[in-house]
Structure 1
Amino acid sequence: MAGMLAGTALSSAQSLPSVVEAAVARHPEVLALSANRKAVGEELNAARGLALPGVNVEAAKGIYDDDNTTQSYKEWSIKLRQPILDGGKAWSETTRQTERVNSARSRVADTANTIGLQVVQAYLEVLRARMVANIARSNLKTIKGIVGRVDRRVKGGGASKADLEQARSRLFAAHNSEAEASINLLDAEALYLTITGTRPGKLGTVKLSAGNLPGSIDQAVEMAMGASPKILAMQSDAAAAEAAIGTAKSAIMPTLDLELSANHRDRIVGTSAANTNYKAMLVFRMSLYNGGINLARIREAGYRAEEAQNMVEATRINVEREIRLAWNAYKGSPQKV
């Protein structure tokens, strides 16, 4: 956007690129989506941890009391668990969360583009409203002078009262136009304030660099299909939904873990010796039946993936329609009188 629009003005004026950049950087919608992107990034870090070893420590100390003795007592245990086979859960979850990060990043870009466009529209509207207001004030001043001259000519017998009434009607219309232009300027400045968070100061003029635009509508559509953040976000959502099928299937797959553990229990006076033991075990686990929950979740994930893929196609259609309408408006604007 900044490449297509160039602001030219005195150094003290607010240029369009700088206003867009500042407004996007502090807009709450952009900040909210940026925070969401960071949160999803932490979910990716958590998914990567599924393939890493886990270590748990448990320790307890207290009083042991029975009919024979009362004594201080403690026990502790430590266990290390390293997944060897997990049914593809770690890979599927890492893939899913990676695509969710990509989607969140694209949504930040899409919202930033939307906010940036709103800022551009507000900026241009203030420039237009100021120009119209200046013209209206100048026109009012000119017509006041005309009315004064006609009035003097009427008094001197050089013009009729009908001429004066006609001049006064034009003055009345000029007053209305000036008032309407002033209200429109206030509205434009209010819109600018709500979108950018600042009041419009001295704004630079803007020129559209048509050389950065696509050469044809087909080129514009092709560029949008490959670079639109909205489409990219939906494509990442579809890839994440596809990876979720693997996560769901991992629940019915066998798993194999290496577990290393050490345990200690104090000796209880008169009944046993202290007990310290060490274990190294390969642990096999597999869910054989849980009421059909796992199979239902696999089917659900498949339908979610189908839904996401159709949403990609729907988004492509919507983006292409918006591009074609915008292109037609751009090409048709010079023909308007």
Structure 2
Amino acid sequence: MLALTVRPASADTLQDALAHAYAYNTDLVAARAHLRSVDEQVPQALSGWRPSVTVNGGSGYQTFNTNTSRLIPAPFGYQQYYIGGNVQLKQPLYSGGGTVAGVAQAEANVRAARADLLGTEQTVLMNAATAYDDVLRSRALTALNREIEVLLRRKLREITIRKDAGQLTQTDIDQTASRLAAASANRITAEGNLAAADARFIAAVGRPPQEGMAVHGLPPIMPRNVGEAIRLAEANSPTVIASLFRLDAAQQAITVARASLMPNLSLQAQAGKDQGQSVPTVATNSASLTLNLSVPIYQGGAASSKLRQAKADAAESQIKTLSSRRDARKNAEAAFATWRAAVDRLAQEQIQVKLAESAYDGVRKEAALGAKSTFELLGQLQELFNARTNEVQARYDVSSNAYQLLVAIGRFTAADLRLRVQAFDPTENYNQVRNAASPFP
């Protein structure tokens, strides 16, 4: 099990955002509804074992007129009102193996749909986590751009005062003003990016981001090496799992199609009563018990075509299963490499920030003594700003790539992240409807 580490004393955490997305994201809610729909395939398939009961009834009015001879007409006739009805019960006994295979096919479809639901859950949570980090990153970059703008504005005032005192020239003022204009443009861009990040957060999570959003760490358990990542992906990837169950369903569909070419055996019982059907005022009671055997001889080629189609579908599913495994290995390997590269890059960016801070402090002191020019000071300030910007980008690239890696290995579900939510049980509805045989919905 994984757990996202979150710093306390915050108004909003990553777990809060993920929990809200888990409960209210429309894509996830729709996927759960789809699973409930697929669950119904099982009781539908099981109905092939159960009897069917039919009640028939009718009533009418009849008139009979007859002539005894063509030469000497002697008309004779009568009129009658009749009413009758019967009850039929049909119990299937053998259907060529189609019912057994149909139940197995439905069960496989349910398990494939459960895997699809996990895949949707991972995608929804990854989008929510990425949106959360995008807001944090955009806020950090906006604050950084505002800070450099304020610093340059203050520096412009200082240089203007020193120019009036004859210590600096108009060139120094122009250089600083140019840097300030660029910083203002960057700040406006950063604020626009922040507004866009807020909009993406609302779309992914379902509510606006809060003011006090906590900076979080990575899940404590990540794959130790690329081999482990590949093994986990092959075992846990929802895409791989779903493809395996779909292959099973496709193979069962072959037996279902073949059953239409096999004999069918059923038992039929019928009881009825007719009043005035043949002779007025006479009631007729009937009852029968019949063993019916149906052997298909020729069906216009439709049954054979469906069997060939089922075999082709199974071959397609087998190829897709191999493809899904290959893609899972490829995605896990690529995600692990990208994540490790992001981690290594972050370490170097942090070193660069420390060196840039030290260099700026030195240049600032030398500029105060006249040993460095305004141009050199502004250049070093820009270096420091760039280093801090790159460090912020690298920090959130690490977490974003970590999310993608966890999705690739199938470990970014609500259960894996230990979200504080009421977990959706994919078997609850299934257990309720599997053996439901009531004639009423």
What range describes the TM-score normalised by the shorter chain of this pair? over 0.9
Contact 2:95 2:262 in 1 (8 A): yes
Query: Which of structures 1 and 2 has the bigger CA Rg?
Result: 2
Change in CA separation of 1:135 and 1:279 when aligned onto 2, cut-off 3 Å: same
Superposed CA offset, 1:109-154 (max 9, x none): 1011112111111110110110111111111111111111111111
2:218 corresponds to which letter in structure 1? L
Q: Distance in 2 between matches of 1:161 and 1:313?
A: 70
Q: Post-superposition shift, 1:11?
A: 4.5
Sequence identity percentage: 23
Contact 1:6 1:16 in 2 (8 A): no
Match in the other structure for 2:31: 33
Q: Post-superposition shift, 1:30?
A: 2.0
* TM-score (normalised: structure 2): 0.72
Superposed CA offset, 1:302-331 (max 9, x none): 111110011011111112111111101111
Q: Considering fraction of residues, name the structure with more strand.
A: 1
1:204 corresponds to which letter in structure 2? A
1:161 corresponds to which letter in structure 2? Q
Match in the other structure for 2:409: none
* SS of aligned partner of 2:247: helix
Match in the other structure for 1:83: 92
Q: What is the correspondence of 1:182-201 to structure 2 with a 5 Å cutoff?
A: 182-201=191-210
Superposed CA offset, 1:217-242 (max 9, x none): 11111111111111111111111000
1:333 paired with 2:342, answer yes
Change in CA separation of 1:144 and 1:92 when aligned onto 2, cut-off 3 Å: same
Match of 1:321 among 320, 330, 334: 330
Match in the other structure for 2:266: 257
Change in CA separation of 1:324 and 1:8 when aligned onto 2, cut-off 3 Å: same
Compare 243-252 and 29-38 and name the one that shifted more. 29-38
1:7 paired with 2:16, answer no
Unmatched runs of 5 consecutive residues or more in structure 2: 66-76, 350-441
The count of residues paired between Structure 1 and Structure 2 equals 334
Q: Distance in 1 between matches of 2:27 and 2:63?
A: 62
Q: Distance in 2 between matches of 1:155 and 1:129?
A: 39
* SS of aligned partner of 2:5: strand
Q: Distance in 1 between matches of 2:225 and 2:294?
A: 60
Q: Distance in 1 between matches of 2:182 and 2:278?
A: 109
Match in the other structure for 1:208: 218
Match in the other structure for 2:50: 52
1:62 corresponds to which letter in structure 2? G
* SS of aligned partner of 1:212: coil
Q: Distance in 2 between matches of 1:25 and 1:309?
A: 35
Change in CA separation of 1:178 and 1:17 when aligned onto 2, cut-off 3 Å: same
Change in CA separation of 1:54 and 1:171 when aligned onto 2, cut-off 3 Å: same
* SS of aligned partner of 1:159: coil
Match in the other structure for 2:110: 101
Q: Post-superposition shift, 1:172?
A: 1.4
Q: Distance in 2 between matches of 1:12 and 1:322?
A: 35
Q: Post-superposition shift, 1:38?
A: 1.0
Q: Distance in 2 between matches of 1:11 and 1:114?
A: 26
* SS of aligned partner of 1:206: coil
Q: What is the correspondence of 1:163-242 to structure 2 with a 5 Å cutoff?
A: 163-202=172-211, 203-209=213-219, 211-242=220-251
1:20 paired with 2:18, answer yes
Unmatched runs of 5 consecutive residues or more in structure 1: none
* SS of aligned partner of 1:288: coil
Tell me how large the CA RMSD over aligned residues is: 1.8
Change in CA separation of 1:329 and 1:48 when aligned onto 2, cut-off 3 Å: same
Match of 1:134 among 143, 147, 165: 143
* SS of aligned partner of 2:117: helix
Contact 1:136 1:181 in 2 (8 A): yes
* SS of aligned partner of 1:136: helix
* SS of aligned partner of 2:40: helix
